[in-house]
């Protein structure tokens, strides 16, 4: 049966080949099994919040009676003993019929009250707008926060330190509600469609993860908050053509590379209202970023970080909240860029600082007078901070000194010394941890390329399992019945003493006397790795399915990806993102063709998403002698069309690196297209705009180049909205591969 393409723009009348027939063979993967029936969907653990008072944690569990809603449950870390703090039925508001559908929750400091976030709505990528309800656990009294605020309009509600008030953002203004009399005090009143208080504009949320942009002082008397003035930022509009007889537009501030940013500043306001004291931050407020701000533990100052626009300098500054005066604490610089890795963790009156000044990312103890004392050292990277146990004197961090594709937990004394690996040697792969307040317990998640994620409670530092929360038993049973392909990690030598991490997937019974097509999966940009020894979900299962059908699927992490292989590895791509990555990727393909003689050099393809879509375009356009086809999903065809924070971090300003932007953009080389190209994009993509794909299509038309394009109406960057979308998407890709890579071309 031919696969019918809907909303397809096809140039030169490409016809899609039939996909392989459905099979009932339990050893073989199919699109239906993966994406329609979801046979291999992994079990997810309930979200856990650790108690700050004792060795227990809180979850929302399904009631034993199987009724609607969820119970709020406390579990003992040591033995798993459960206590229902509030039943699902107690979450039914007065006059309601069903329990609240709770998205998340937060406890007051004494854990006598809980804030419930419900009726949530997505704001860009995450559900950050909704209703907040207060429950007094002793009485089970349920009170809606925000008075007569319209439904689903509150954001980022947080208890005051003493638990007597709740602050929240509504319609770009900050408010505080007293829980005794429910009186609401408005702290800012100038919020509008262009002036944002207490949360962030699109680009700061997307690229700096700024969302809840305010902080209570330790004594609860004041709040420091961010303000973003977007008035002079150029607007971008997306059109929705399918939800009504007339199109609808979504318009929002989006600064593209080289364009004007929001004016960003920090202010301090009394929790009882009054005039805002703006911090005296040096420089043009449109030419900097303020990624982090926290009160010092004594509440006498605000510690904040200021990136310059190029993001090659990060200044840590201390501000007097009464006068607004600021003074420098320390400065981090880099010839390329400084990573935004320094959320503020306090160690008494000092704070933790991550720096690559030694050539490797290491942890330091920083004092408020700018003195840095090393905590870790050596030729390895601290990948991430798992926990700072200031009371016990330990830093818990993730690292993998021997294998850049893996992740393990280590700890080291805050005073420095020899690190201690805590993750078991018997579990090679990727480990993550949610560590409890004083670090005796953690939620441990482990997976590998062949092992779906297992979630358990472990004690630290012994790493003894208290109990397993998610064992993936059913998924393991399903996987055990499959005829799994061979999966191998390797290093690929591309010359000049450069070896790249890679994985290769091929059928277990592959006839190596024959030639087989090679499909490369690529990302290749500084924001992510593809070569990781971790579970890859449905996308990885799709790769396994392709291997069962005779493809060899491989992936390589070029230089410039965020592998823990030192500063030089990551920064050498500066101002030449699309150029160096393309060189490394093509060199890796040539090396694989030499190393694996069963690969067909005439049938090499590439596919990727977002930056990987860009890299696939670059592969096909720049190296038409090597790649026969590419599938580019949501690509950035022209770097000048992406946002300021991301693109300028790695490429500099367009006016200062015009050649770099031109040579790194696939659209520049569209005229060299010789193979088969499929472009896929969601028209509702607020991140990488469909505009870029249309500009590329125009250029290909000018150059009289045949291509195929698929537009998914109103889908976002993830292309996952709407019934049947995932199945349709992967059916499209599978069909295109079947026609354009699996089949050998005949000579005309």
User: Within 10 A of 312 (CB to CB), how many other CB atoms are there?
Assistant: 17
Looking at residue 746, what is its pLDDT? Answer: 61
The Cα–Cα gap between 35 and 37 comes to 6
Q: Residue with structure tokens 């030598």?
A: 493
Domain boundary among the residues 413, 445, 471 is at 471
Cα 127 versus chain centre, distance = 14
The residue-averaged pLDDT of 125-145 equals 95
Residues 6+ apart with CB under 8 A from 480: none
Looking at residue 559, what is its pLDDT? Answer: 98
Quick one: 416 exposed, middle or buried, by C-beta within 10 A (0-12, 13-18, 19+)? middle
Closest alpha carbon to 605 in 745, 747, 499: 745
Looking at residue 22, what is its pLDDT? Answer: 53
Same domain (yes/no): 172, 223 = no
Percentage of the residues of the chain whose pLDDT score is greater than 90 = 94
Q: At residue 748, does pLDDT exceed 70?
A: no
Pairing of strands 235-240, 464-470: unpaired
The residue-averaged pLDDT of 376-396 equals 97
pLDDT tens figures, 313-328: 999 999 999 999 999 9
pLDDT tens figures, 189-203: 999 999 999 999 999
Looking at residue 24, what is its pLDDT? Answer: 76
Q: What angle do CA 645, 647, 648 make, to 5 degrees?
A: 70
Domain boundary among the residues 448, 471, 494 is at 471
The Cα–Cα gap between 515 and 104 comes to 52
Same domain (yes/no): 520, 646 = yes
pLDDT tens figures, 505-516: 999 999 999 999
The residue-averaged pLDDT of 418-426 equals 97
Any idea what DSSP says for residue 403? -
Work out how many domains the chain is built from and give that number. Answer: 4
**Helices 537-548 & 725-737, crossing angle to 10 degrees?**
30
Q: Which runs of E-coded beta strand occur in 125-164? A: 126-136, 141-144, 154-159
Q: Which runs of E-coded beta strand occur in 160-253? A: 165-170, 173-178, 184-186, 195-197, 214-216, 222-229, 235-240, 248-253
**Residue 125 binned pLDDT confidence (cut-offs 50, 70, 90):** confident
The CATH number linked to 50 is: 2.130.10.10
Q: At residue 148, does pLDDT exceed 60?
A: yes
pLDDT tens figures, 352-370: 999 999 999 999 999 999 9
**Helices 611-622 & 577-595, crossing angle to 10 degrees?**
70
**Residue 124 binned pLDDT confidence (cut-offs 50, 70, 90):** confident
Is the residue at 325 inside a domain? no
**Residue 65 binned pLDDT confidence (cut-offs 50, 70, 90):** confident
Percentage of the residues of the chain whose pLDDT score is greater than 70 = 97
The Cα–Cα gap between 520 and 585 comes to 9
Q: At residue 89, does pLDDT exceed 60?
A: yes
Asked if 411 contacts 396 with a C-beta cutoff of 8 angstroms, the reply is: yes
The Cα–Cα gap between 682 and 677 comes to 17
Same domain (yes/no): 642, 690 = yes
Same domain (yes/no): 180, 164 = yes
The CATH number linked to 648 is: 3.40.50.1820
- The number of CA neighbours under 13 Å toward the Cβ of 671 is 3
Same domain (yes/no): 153, 165 = yes
Same domain (yes/no): 193, 182 = no
Same domain (yes/no): 16, 112 = no
Give the range of the structural domain holding residue 150, as residue numbers without chain letter: 45-186
Q: What angle do CA 576, 579, 585 make, to 5 degrees?
A: 130
Closest alpha carbon to 91 in 58, 66, 117: 117
Is the residue at 316 inside a domain? no
Same domain (yes/no): 236, 109 = no
Domain boundary among the residues 152, 186, 220 is at 186
Is the residue at 106 inside a domain? yes
Same domain (yes/no): 241, 166 = no
Is the residue at 1 inside a domain? no
Same domain (yes/no): 437, 584 = no
Residues 6+ apart with CB under 8 A from 672: 621, 622, 624
Asked if 184 contacts 623 with a C-beta cutoff of 8 angstroms, the reply is: no
The CATH number linked to 403 is: 2.120.10.30
The residue-averaged pLDDT of 520-526 equals 98
Q: At residue 16, does pLDDT exceed 70?
A: no
Pairing of strands 302-308, 313-319: antiparallel
Is the residue at 327 inside a domain? no
pLDDT tens figures, 165-217: 999 999 999 999 999 999 999 999 999 999 999 999 999 999 999 999 999 99
Q: Is the dihedral of CA 164, 168, 173, 174 positive or negative?
A: positive
Rounded to two decimals, what is the model's pTM? 0.94
Same domain (yes/no): 280, 361 = no
């Amino acid at each position: 049966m031919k696969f019918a393409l809907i909303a397809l723009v096809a140039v030169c009348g490409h016809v899609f080949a039939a996909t392989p027939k459905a099979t009932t063979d339990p050893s073989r993967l199919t699109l239906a099994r993966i994406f329609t029936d979801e046979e291999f969907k992994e079990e997810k653990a309930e979200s856990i919040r650790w108690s700050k008072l004792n060795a227990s944690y809180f979850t929302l569990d399904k009631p034993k009676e199987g009724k609607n809603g969820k119970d709020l449950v406390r579990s003992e870390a040591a033995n798993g003993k459960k206590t229902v703090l509030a039943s699902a039925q107690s979450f039914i508001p007065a006059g309601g019929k069903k329990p609240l559908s709770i998205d998340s929750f937060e406890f007051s400091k004494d854990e006598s009250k809980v804030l419930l976030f419900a009726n949530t709505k997505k704001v860009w990528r995450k559900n950050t707008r909704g209703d907040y309800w207060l429950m007094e656990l002793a009485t089970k009294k349920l009170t809606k926060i925000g008075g007569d605020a319209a439904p689903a309009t509150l954001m980022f509600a947080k208890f005051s330190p003493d638990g007597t008030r709740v602050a929240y953002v509504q319609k770009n203004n900050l408010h505080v509600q007293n829980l005794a009399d429910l009186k609401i005090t408005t702290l800012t009143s100038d919020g509008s469609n262009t002036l944002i208080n207490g949360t962030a504009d699109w680009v700061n949320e997307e690229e700096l993860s700024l969302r809840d942009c305010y902080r209570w002082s330790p004594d609860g008397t004041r709040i420091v908050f961010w303000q973003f003035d977007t008035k002079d930022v150029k607007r971008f509009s997306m059109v929705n053509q399918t939800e009504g007889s007339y199109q609808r537009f979504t318009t929002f501030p989006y600064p593209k590379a080289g364009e004007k940013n929001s004016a960003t500043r920090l202010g301090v306001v009394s929790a009882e209202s009054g005039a805002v004291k703006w911090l005296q931050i040096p420089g043009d407020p449109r030419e900097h970023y303020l990624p982090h701000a926290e009160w010092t533990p004594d509440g006498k100052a605000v510690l904040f970080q200021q990136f310059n626009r190029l993001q090659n300098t990060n200044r840590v500054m201390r501000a007097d909240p009464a006068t607004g005066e600021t003074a420098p604490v320390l400065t981090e610089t880099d010839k390329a860029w400084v990573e935004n890795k320094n959320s503020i963790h306090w160690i008494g009156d000092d704070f933790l600082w991550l720096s690559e000044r030694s050539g490797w990312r290491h942890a330091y103890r920083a004092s408020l007078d700018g003195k840095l004392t090393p905590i870790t050292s050596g030729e390895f990277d601290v990948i991430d901070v798992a926990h700072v146990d200031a009371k016990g004197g330990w830093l818990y961090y993730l690292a993998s000194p021997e294998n850049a594709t893996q992740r393990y937990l280590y700890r080291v004394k805050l005073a420095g010394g020899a690190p201690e690996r805590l993750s078991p040697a018997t579990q090679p792969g990727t480990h993550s941890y949610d560590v409890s307040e004083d670090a005796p317990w953690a939620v441990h998640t482990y997976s590998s390329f062949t092992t779906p994620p297992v979630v358990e409670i472990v004690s630290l530092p012994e790493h003894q399992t208290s109990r397993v929360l998610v064992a993936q038993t059913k998924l393991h049973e399903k996987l055990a019945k499959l005829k799994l392909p061979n999966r191998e990690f390797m290093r690929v030598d591309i010359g000049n003493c450069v070896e790249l991490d890679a994985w290769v997937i091929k059928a277990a019974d592959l006839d190596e006397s024959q030639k087989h097509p090679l499909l490369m999966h690529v990302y290749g940009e500084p924001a992510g790795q593809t070569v990781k020894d971790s579970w890859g979900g449905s996308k990885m299962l799709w790769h396994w399915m392709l291997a069962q059908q005779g493809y060899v699927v491989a992936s390589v992490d070029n230089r410039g990806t965020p592998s823990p292989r030192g500063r030089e590895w990551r920064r050498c791509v500066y101002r030449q993102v699309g150029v160096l990555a393309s060189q490394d990727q093509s060199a890796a393909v040539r090396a694989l063709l030499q190393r694996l003689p069963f690969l067909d050099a005439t049938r090499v393809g590439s596919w990727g998403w977002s930056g990987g879509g860009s890299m696939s375009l670059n592969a096909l356009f720049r190296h038409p002698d090597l790649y026969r086809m590419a599938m580019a999903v949501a690509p950035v065809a022209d770097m000048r069309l992406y946002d300021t924070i991301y693109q300028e971090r790695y490429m500099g300003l367009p006016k200062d690196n015009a050649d770099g932007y031109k040579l790194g953009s696939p659209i520049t080389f569209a005229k060299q297209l010789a193979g088969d190209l499929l472009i896929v994009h969601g028209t509702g993509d607020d991140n990488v705009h469909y505009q870029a794909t249309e500009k590329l299509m125009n250029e290909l038309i000018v150059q009289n180049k045949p291509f195929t394009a698929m537009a998914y109406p109103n889908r976002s960057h993830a292309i996952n909205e709407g019934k049947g979308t995932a199945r349709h998407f992967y059916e499209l890709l599978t069909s295109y591969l079947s026609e354009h890579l699996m089949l050998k071309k005949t000579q005309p």
